[in-house]
Amino acid sequence: MKGVAMFKRHIIGISVTAVLLVLAYVAYAFISKDDIILMVQKQIEKNFHQKVTFSNVSISVLPSLTAEIDDLALYQDEQNKMVEVKKIVLNLNIDTLMQKELVIESIEITSPAINIDPNATASEKDTSADSNRSFDPKNLKFLKKVTLRDGSVNYGSRYHIGKISADIVLSPEIIKIEKLKATVGQNGLSAVVSGLVDIQKETITLNLAAKSSSLKTLLQQFDINTSARSDSLENFKFAGTVKADRKGLLLKNARIILDDTHVDFETVVKDYNASTMAFRTTVDEIDLNRYLPDTNGSHDADGSVASGDVQSSKDLTPLIELVKKLRISNSVKIGSLKIKNYELSDIFIKGKIANGKVRINPVAFKIYDGKFEGSIAVDLKNREPYFDIKYRIKQADIESVFKQRKVPEIITGRVNLLTHITTFGSTIDDLLENADADIALFGDDLMFNKYDIDAALEGFDKATSFDMIDLAGVVAGPLGIVLVNTYDAIEMKKTLDKGGQTKIVKLMASWKVRDLVASARDVAIKTPKNRIAVKGDIDLKNARIKRLYIAILNKRGCAKFLQKIKMLDDGSIDVSDKLNVVTTPFKKLFDRGEQCRVFYRGRVK
């Protein structure tokens, strides 16, 4: 019985094969090779609306009916080829072929090359309405598979996408991209795509991956200026998933590895409007100095941008108009970041842009071994954009501030900073000139490392002159950098290092900034034996002292001794005799007396 059953199966198989062969040969008998060539040519011209040529078409009936086309060319115009294909293998539908209708069930394309001429004029291109038509979707109901090998796309002679391969399976409901691979640029970026297109549900799910061992080389091919550092833009990897439907697009589980940096992010774009999106980003650590472009010496020795390169008068109106159109929410986390001489860690930023208003709250990170917390609000709906910026720094290491500015570390300890800035304008110059700011630096138990202030003041009655410009810089707090920077750092360290140190029991430095002039409001320090206060104004625009007084106070806040600090008119620095800053000797105002004019009424008691 088993032998009979097996014999029946063989008979059925042979019969089916014979029928198919008969149909194939009948079809081939009734339809000549020239007919098939003509149908192929007409089908391509119908769907692409371009002139098409090929060198040869060969027909095979086993194991299925196929047409193999050699050296196919699709023309951009009468002379120039836009697409060249070494070989196309078409698996044809026998039933429709007998009716002299070409229906393709599968396509295998070998070595297709697309060449785009960026200099082609409009007249050289087919601009008719029909040229925008794509394949007739009805033909896709028979097409089951597309295979592509070793393809390339060239844009002129500069830009190249090569090693293109694809395996795509089609059905009336779903298009499955098993794998789509390509390489961008010469030895550049390799990319892989896979996923599903659900035609009925109108959804797309794509898995994306890309990598490059020399991203810098690729960017340079596109004329993008990059850093000259050899350790930047070398290793690059990307992976993520894109989901799309009628409502918008979601990029999820995305990760970028750039050299030693790992970035994870997700993005949602609503209604396919790039100005309406939300994103979340997490970065472990990044040194931006590795990626800043080479600006051919436009940076100073300390890494800051040379003043001549800053376009402070640049009109911000185009940027403002762009931001007005945005509806974006975002959050960013960065473990650590280096840029210029700044090192930040534990960064968290959350913001929203909508209806012409920007709200960024909080802006938080660690800097100078302290914690920065702040917020930024921008109203772009006014005639001139209005900015409101608030921030504070808790328990920052003030010695780190001096190190970052590359001036002698004359004070150590922990301080706090409170700042509130409001301004308006459409250029950077306007924003600076219209700024109204309150700045306060305060701290307890600091150490002044130049000399013992109290010991120096004990013999002060016998001194005819006593220069305390460095002490004034300490008392001035956040504006003291201006005073310190007026002295040459080397000369200052050599001439002012008198030995000893002073404990600063309390520091308060509160300034009001308006019209780019900082005015002392409550600026004083307290040592174990003395209180010292500063009054006056500093021109921030020109980094010059307008008028400044430093006073040694008695218990009632009157000045026992007073010194005036000023700058020469030319503002020049003469290292030999430090003529940039001139100080008058402290004047002994009084020894005793019931009546005195109060110099300081602040919070340092």
Classify residue 266: in a domain, yes or no: no
Are 89 and 125 members of one domain? yes
| Structural domain count, the chain | 4
Are 450 and 583 members of one domain? yes
Are 58 and 71 members of one domain? yes
Classify residue 180: in a domain, yes or no: no
Averaged pLDDT score across all residues of the chain: 78
Classify residue 181: in a domain, yes or no: no
What's the rounded mean pLDDT across residues 258-287? 92
Is the model's pLDDT at 133 over the cut of 80? Answer: no
pLDDT at 564: 79
Are 9 and 128 members of one domain? no
141 vs 553 pLDDT, higher one: 553
Classify residue 268: in a domain, yes or no: no
Are 392 and 496 members of one domain? no
Classify residue 364: in a domain, yes or no: yes
pLDDT at 350: 96
Are 394 and 446 members of one domain? no
Q: How wide is the angle at C-alpha 239 spanned by C-alphas 236 and 240, nearest 5°? A: 145
Domain end marker among 143, 170, 197: 170
pLDDT grade, residue 44 (50/70/90)? low
CA distance 166 to 469: 74
Classify residue 235: in a domain, yes or no: no
Return the percentage of the chain with pLDDT > 70, whole number.
Answer: 70
pLDDT at 262: 96
Contact 565, 555 (CB under 8 A): no
Are 133 and 77 members of one domain? yes
Is the model's pLDDT at 279 over the cut of 80? Answer: yes
**The whole model's pTM is what?**
0.73
- Based on its alpha-carbon atoms, the radius of gyration of the chain, rounded to whole angstroms, reads 38
Domain end marker among 432, 465, 491: 432
Are 357 and 467 members of one domain? no
Q: Is 455 helix (H, G, I), strand (E, B) or coil?
A: helix
Classify residue 41: in a domain, yes or no: yes
Domain that holds residue 49: 32-170
Are 371 and 452 members of one domain? no
Give the type of residue at 407.
V
pLDDT at 318: 87
pLDDT at 305: 41
Are 441 and 523 members of one domain? yes
Residue closest to 209 by CA, chosen among 234, 184, 187, 190 = 190
Distance of CA 350 to the CA centre of its chain: 15
Classify residue 565: in a domain, yes or no: yes
Are 21 and 39 members of one domain? no
Are 403 and 448 members of one domain? no
pLDDT at 452: 80
- pLDDT tens track for 381-438: 888 999 999 999 999 998 887 776 665 667 889 999 999 999 999 998 999 999 999 9
CA distance 584 to 566: 9
pLDDT grade, residue 99 (50/70/90)? low
Highest mean pLDDT among 102-116, 128-142, 298-312, 456-470: 102-116
Q: How wide is the angle at C-alpha 367 spanned by C-alphas 254 and 437, nearest 5°? A: 110
